[in-house]
Chain A
Amino acid sequence: MERRFMDSQIKGVSTGTTILAVTFNGGVIIGSDSRASIGGYYVSSKTINKLIQVHDRIFCCIAGSLADAQAVTKAAKFQISFHSIQMESPPLVKAAASVLRELCYNNKEELQAGFITAGWDRKKGPQVYTVALGGMLLSQPFTIGGSGSTYIYGYADAKYKPDMSKEECLQFATNALALAMGRDNVSGGVAHLVVITEEGVEHVVIPGDKLPKFHDE
């Protein structure tokens, strides 16, 4: 089978994107933009939701090729719910992240997608895991990903504080998304944020005109 060189010019629909996940005191916030583009020229969807619920308190978000991501998350969702039935308890966030990692690592030649898994479980509370392109699994207090993330490394490094409150964390995530969407041409649309705590899951959508504005806007 001819191996295609995965270039953004040749790729299909890709989520050139900005995704992030941040832990705070008592929960975790996972967020993304909502633009899906083809090759960086055409916006194929302005309002796509990149935050996929794989279990009650576990979400993951996708960066990279949209087709790959949807296929992988569908398989992962099935495996995680089966695992949870077998264990007779809600799955650990690490288990969900491991499932994604197995899928990414075993298919690393064909896939081109990276994932951020975030959620809450009884054992360790709020956690964020990132699964990189080749299948590396890493746990971090917060993480950013996607093409737009390069522009906010400095901002995230400077502004993140451990043990933030929920409001501070929401502000941090919204600002970071707004800044990335302002500089990256393949990120944009609305900001989707999901707040996951022991109590439940809350979905916040911030339309483009309500995003924070910065000095040159």
Chain B
Amino acid sequence: MSIHDFKESNFIPGNGGLDRKVSTRPATSLSCAKRKCFKMLDESPEPGWLSEEVKTGTTIIAIEFDGGVVLGSDSRVSAGETVVNRVMNKLSLLHDKIYCALSGSAADAQTIAEMVNYQLDVHSIEVGEDPQVRSAATLVKNISYKYKEELSAHLIVAGWDKRGGGQVYVTLNGLLSRQPFAVGGSGSSYVYGFVDAEYRKAMSKEDCQQFVVNTLSLAMSRDGSSGGVAYLVTIDKKGAEEKCILGNELPTFYDQ
């Protein structure tokens, strides 16, 4: 099992948890490859989930509408070929009206979300009001960029603040970019065509929710690493509303 040298003392809270010593993380993919070789040679029945890195191979999407945002994700977490969690909610709270969607390595993504949650709490106390979505995205981007070589997670940050309304930010590999909508994760490749064709400016909240659900359903039916249920979060001035749509309630298309 690949163990990460991740000790609590590596975090220095005074700096917001950023000054962590670089952990001597073993090259996960290399050890997996070696293990696979041994598996072929002496046929030992070691299950994949013991040696494979846990990834949220996933589909995530976020879209702005006038007055808020809608975020959506699937719920499958895989370790190699095994599904280790089929009901994980990948929409993580960063603040009351700011959420982020996780993809990539499960551990990396969750850790980034927790760190930014902590930093945002401190920041919002310091400024005395709710933080801006851009601040949350910048904090995520700072971590992604600084630890770009070690981390492999992509977070989409979306939320509502009174200055900018609904906003969606992508933070892939350390860049920060605001977009009207964003898709991410392994399942997103299959739906680029669909979202390009279907997206229209100035959709209403219900249209956005339907758009997100359709996109997730299509991606989940094509991507082996996405599946399970669909989680939706709608954020507007009044707050955040979470919703879960079960597998059999998702929209179906011609071959289903």
Query: Across the interface, do B219 and A154 meet the contact criterion of CB distance under 8 Å?
Result: yes
Within 8 A of B (CB), among A146-184: 150-162, 175-176, 179-180, 182-183
Query: Across the interface, do A151 and B254 meet the contact criterion of CB distance under 8 Å?
Result: no
Question: From residue A31, how far is it (CB to closest CB) to chain B in Å?
Answer: 14
* A215 interface residue per 8 A CB criterion: yes
Question: From residue B214, how far is it (CB to closest CB) to chain A in Å?
Answer: 7
CA distance A23 to B215 in the complex (A): 24
Q: Which residue of A lies closest to B183 (CB)?
A: A154
Chain B residues contacting A150 (CB-CB under 8 Å) are 189-190
CA distance A180 to B189 in the complex (A): 11
CA distance A196 to B190 in the complex (A): 28
Query: Across the interface, do B196 and A183 meet the contact criterion of CB distance under 8 Å?
Result: yes
Known: A155-B193, A176-B193. A160 touches B254 (CB 8 A): yes
Q: Which residue of A lies closest to B223 (CB)?
A: A153
Contact with A along B174-212 (1 / 0, CB 8 A): 000000000000000111111111111100000000000
Query: Across the interface, do A175 and B191 meet the contact criterion of CB distance under 8 Å?
Result: no
Q: Which residue of A lies closest to B216 (CB)?
A: A154
Choice from B196, B214, B222, B254 contacting A162 with Cβ under 8 Å? B254
* A216 interface residue per 8 A CB criterion: yes
Chain B residues contacting A152 (CB-CB under 8 Å) are 192-194
Chain A residues contacting B189 (CB-CB under 8 Å) are 150-151
Q: Which residue of B lies closest to A180 (CB)?
A: B193
Query: Across the interface, do A175 and B253 meet the contact criterion of CB distance under 8 Å?
Result: no
Known: A154-B215, A158-B214, A162-B254. A215 touches B193 (CB 8 A): no
CA distance A156 to B221 in the complex (A): 12
CA distance A175 to B200 in the complex (A): 16
The bracket for how many chain A residues form the interface is 20 to 34
Please report the total number of B residues contacting A with Cβ < 8 Å: 22
Known: A175-B197, A214-B197. A157 touches B192 (CB 8 A): no
Chain A residues contacting B215 (CB-CB under 8 Å) are 154
Chain A residues contacting B201 (CB-CB under 8 Å) are 215
* B249 interface residue per 8 A CB criterion: no
Q: Which residue of A lies closest to B252 (CB)?
A: A157
CA distance A176 to B219 in the complex (A): 16
Question: From residue B184, how far is it (CB to closest CB) to chain A in Å?
Answer: 14
Choice from A153, A161, A216 contacting B193 with Cβ under 8 Å? A153
CA distance A214 to B189 in the complex (A): 17
Query: Across the interface, do B222 and A154 meet the contact criterion of CB distance under 8 Å?
Result: yes
Query: Across the interface, do A153 and B191 meet the contact criterion of CB distance under 8 Å?
Result: yes
Contact with B along A189-217 (1 / 0, CB 8 A): 00000000000000000000000001110
CA distance A130 to B253 in the complex (A): 21
Chain A residues contacting B193 (CB-CB under 8 Å) are 151-156, 176, 179-180, 183
Query: Across the interface, do A153 and B196 meet the contact criterion of CB distance under 8 Å?
Result: no
Choice from B197, B214, B222, B254 contacting A179 with Cβ under 8 Å? B197
CA distance A155 to B219 in the complex (A): 10
Query: Across the interface, do A157 and B253 meet the contact criterion of CB distance under 8 Å?
Result: yes
Chain B residues contacting A215 (CB-CB under 8 Å) are 196, 199-201
Choice from B199, B200, B218, B255 contacting A154 with Cβ under 8 Å? B218
CA distance A37 to B132 in the complex (A): 45
Chain A residues contacting B191 (CB-CB under 8 Å) are 153-155
Chain A residues contacting B198 (CB-CB under 8 Å) are 158
Question: From residue A139, how far is it (CB to closest CB) to chain B in Å?
Answer: 14
Query: Across the interface, do B190 and A153 meet the contact criterion of CB distance under 8 Å?
Result: yes
Chain A residues contacting B222 (CB-CB under 8 Å) are 153-154, 157
CA distance A182 to B201 in the complex (A): 19
Chain B residues contacting A176 (CB-CB under 8 Å) are 193
Hey, which bits of chain A sit against chain B, CB under 8 A? Answer: 150-162, 175-176, 179-180, 182-183, 214-216
Other CB < 8 Å A-B pairs besides A154-B219, A156-B193, A158-B194, 14 of them?
A150-B189, A152-B192, A153-B193, A154-B193, A154-B194, A154-B195, A154-B222, A155-B196, A179-B192, A179-B196, A182-B196, A183-B196, A214-B196, A214-B197
